[in-house]
Amino acid sequence: MQEVQVRHYLDRARDFLKGMELLKEDLTEFGHSTALLGIHGAISYCDALRVGLGSRRLSSDNHASATKELKLLLGARKFEEQKGIGRLKKMLAQKSMVAYSPNRVSEREVVAIIQQARRFALWAEAVGRHLKIEGWKDA
């Protein structure tokens, strides 16, 4: 069952990021959508890693607890390269602003989220392969 859940979240993460890449060509029209797809892609990668490392809990609205748990799970595996967690925290801090603020998110902010989402995805993919998480497969 764990392997199936890992694949589910991994496929979802990759799908969100593909959508982000498609929409980034017109940030004037699709800036908010692009940013949210990047953020949700990172959340899904986090879920794939957490489930693959043995978590029984799934992300909810409290994504801060998910990042703390991921850090603990990686620490238990003695995995020291945890830069991705900082990137995830930055994106999560912007999620409410992007989704609910009455103000338009600037193109500069969206570009920064895209960059963080890409970097987080690269990190998450490397972690999944390095730790040989069951169900982690290449795209």
Residue pLDDT, tens place only, 11-36: 999 999 999 999 999 999 999 999 99
> At which residue do the structure tokens 């690269």 appear?
122
pLDDT tens across 75-108, in order? 999 988 888 999 999 999 999 889 998 888 899 9
Which DSSP letter does residue 19 get?
A: H
CATH of domain 2-130: 1.20.120.330
Query: Does the structure show a pLDDT above 70 at 42?
Result: yes
Q: How confident is the model at residue 2 (pLDDT cuts 50, 70, 90)?
A: confident
Give the pair of three-digit tokens for residue 40.
């949700």
Query: Is residue 11 within 8 Å of 137, Cβ to Cβ?
Result: no
pTM of the model: 0.93
Give the pair of three-digit tokens for residue 23.
């929409």
Q: How far is CA 86 from CA 92, 94, 102, 125, 129, in A?
A: 10, 13, 26, 16, 20
